[in-house]
């Protein structure tokens, strides 16, 4: 596979019409970024991307431009994060700027005789690949595709500064229902003010102390050089498995431990089998929505915790218990000032030497599902042939050394993995996700089996 053509080299589609959508909503002001905004902003800067959310959907026959414009007006008026842009001082430091009113734009693209699916995909790609103008542009791009006078598709792209995944789900639910009750939760301006308060500073100091204790005690190295660095260096791998889902659920039913902890244990055991480095030090992405005022807020409040998992010399079910305890502590201390935490990590890294690194992230994006019976061993084995793996994007833009996302596809689990091939070769990356399936199946069939890892 070759590198994907960038938005700058592709011919751009130009809208046939731009519909101006005025809006007004509650609140205005200028503040420092909230911790959740800082977390995603630093990731955006490091990865040289707006990390956009969104996509396309087919519209019901008869949908009008006015109806979609009303949807855009609803979003802009209801959610403060949709009306928030950035300002920058002379050093490039951002602040959040919330506007009480303004005008958004709905773009209309005419497909003509071109397949509207193709036009929608092109506009979506164009929107996703073009960085947002953070100071001048509202953090949402919305368009419709029209063919022979009929609307066929909606295209929406949202800058990741607006919200994280759970907040996006709230937004979709409320826009569908046109909810009119007051918005839930502490908005980003209020979050930033609380974070500067005495209770906020105290909470941050506790998190910093907890992290520093771990940072000074863990082995410095997560990965050895792979010996197989590629160009482009950063690869995406996608793995789908019914057997992994069934096996993890069997462990959930047997142990009573939630599936995120089971998957974290499976990830840790598989990673040590691939790299030979124990304990595993990973940063689970924590939603923080169990905290007061953050449950249903449409904003970015997710942050990465820090988790140390020693899974050598124990049984697989013990590894699940280790992951549950480690995740609990990581979740408790995953709400902090990312600037101060970054300075702490940099200071410890400078003291501990050039091998020090914590660039290993785990992000379980699944939502809890309804109870279901555990799969039998025969059902788990029968699902193994349905496993799929392929490589996706390859890019030169920097990314983490390892970032694993977990998604629910209904009957299967999807693992979307991003690797830095300088530290994890393509062969090791594939071995990791296939190894997670193997570990989960082993645990389902024989929970007292050892992890197969020597104590180092």
Residue 93 to residue 32: CA distance in whole angstroms: 9
Q: Give the CATH fold of the 17-193 domain.
A: Chloramphenicol Acetyltransferase (3.30.559)
Give the residue extent of every domain in the chain. Answer: 17-193, 199-445
**pLDDT tens digits, 129-180:** 999 999 999 999 999 999 999 999 999 999 999 999 999 999 999 999 999 9
- Give the Cα separation of 305 and 327 in Å (integer): 8
List pLDDT tens digits, range 241-294: 999 999 999 999 988 899 999 999 999 999 999 999 999 999 999 999 999 999
Res 383 pLDDT > 80: yes
In terms of Cα–Cα distance, which of 192, 164, 96 is closest to 301?
Answer: 164
Please enumerate in sequence order all residues whose Cβ is within 8 A of that of 399, keeping only pairs 6 or more positions apart, or say none: 47, 234, 418, 420
Q: How many CB atoms lie within 10 A of CB 29?
A: 15
pLDDT value for 22: 98
**Do the Cβ atoms of 64 and 138 come closer than 8 Å?**
no
CB 435 within 8 A of CB 412: no
Q: What is the pLDDT of residue 7?
A: 43
Q: What angle do CA 37, 40, 46 make, to 5 degrees?
A: 135
Helix intervals (H) in 61-197: 65-78, 116-129, 165-177, 188-196
d(CA 343, CA 347): 6
Closest CA to 54 of 148, 118, 124, 6: 124
| Equal fold, 17-193 vs 199-445 | yes
Return all residues near 204 (Cβ < 8 A) that are at least 6 apart: 195, 336, 337, 340
CATH fold of 199-445: Chloramphenicol Acetyltransferase (3.30.559)
Identify the bridge partners of residue 450 per DSSP, sorted by sequence position: 315
């Amino acid at each position: 596979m070759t590198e994907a053509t960038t938005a700058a080299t592709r011919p751009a589609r130009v809208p046939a019409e731009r519909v101006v959508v005025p809006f007004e909503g509650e609140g205005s002001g200028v503040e420092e970024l909230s911790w959740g905004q800082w977390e995603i902003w630093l990731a955006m800067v490091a990865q040289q991307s707006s990390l956009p959310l969104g996509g396309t959907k087919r519209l019901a026959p008869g949908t009008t431009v006015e109806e979609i414009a009303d949807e855009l007006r609803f979003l802009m008026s209801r959610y403060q994060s949709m009306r928030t842009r950035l300002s920058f001082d002379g050093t490039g430091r951002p602040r959040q700027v919330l506007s009480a009113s303004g005008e958004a734009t709905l773009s209309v693209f005419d497909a003509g005789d071109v397949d509207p699916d193709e036009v929608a995909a092109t506009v979506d790609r164009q929107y996703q690949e073009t960085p947002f103008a953070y100071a001048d542009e509202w953090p949402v791009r919305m368009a419709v595709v029209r063919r022979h006078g009929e609307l066929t598709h909606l295209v929406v792209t949202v800058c990741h500064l607006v919200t994280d995944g759970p907040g996006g789900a709230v937004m979709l639910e409320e826009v569908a229902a046109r909810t009119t009750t007051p918005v839930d939760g502490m908005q980003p301006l209020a979050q930033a003010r609380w974070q500067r308060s005495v209770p906020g500073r105290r909470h941050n100091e506790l998190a910093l102390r907890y992290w520093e204790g771990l940072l000074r005690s863990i082995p410095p190295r997560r990965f050895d050089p792979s010996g197989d660095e590629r160009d482009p260096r950063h690869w995406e791998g996608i793995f789908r498995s019914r057997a992994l889902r069934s096996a993890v659920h069997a462990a959930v039913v047997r142990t009573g431990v939630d599936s995120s902890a089971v998957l974290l244990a499976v990830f840790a055991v598989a990673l040590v089998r691939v790299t030979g480095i124990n304990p595993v030090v990973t940063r689970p992405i924590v939603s923080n929505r169990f905290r007061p005022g953050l449950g249903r807020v449409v904003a970015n409040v997710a942050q990465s915790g820090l988790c140390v998992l020693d899974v050598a010399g124990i049984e697989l079910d013990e590894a699940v218990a280790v992951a549950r305890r480690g995740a609990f502590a990581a979740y408790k201390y995953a709400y902090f000032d990312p600037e101060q935490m970054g300075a702490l990590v940099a200071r410890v890294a400078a003291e501990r030497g050039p091998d020090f690194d914590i660039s290993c992230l785990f992000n379980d994006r699944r939502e809890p599902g309804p109870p279901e019976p555990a799969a039998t061993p025969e059902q788990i084995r029968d699902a193994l042939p349905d496993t799929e793996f392929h490589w996706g994007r390859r890019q030169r833009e920097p990314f983490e050394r390892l970032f694993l996302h977990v998604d629910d596809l209904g009957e299967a689990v999807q693992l979307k993995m991003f690797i830095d091939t300088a530290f994890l070769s393509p062969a090791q990356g594939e071995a990791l996700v296939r190894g997670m399936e193997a570990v989960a199946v082993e645990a389902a069939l024989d929970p007292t089996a050892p992890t197969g890892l020597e104590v180092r």
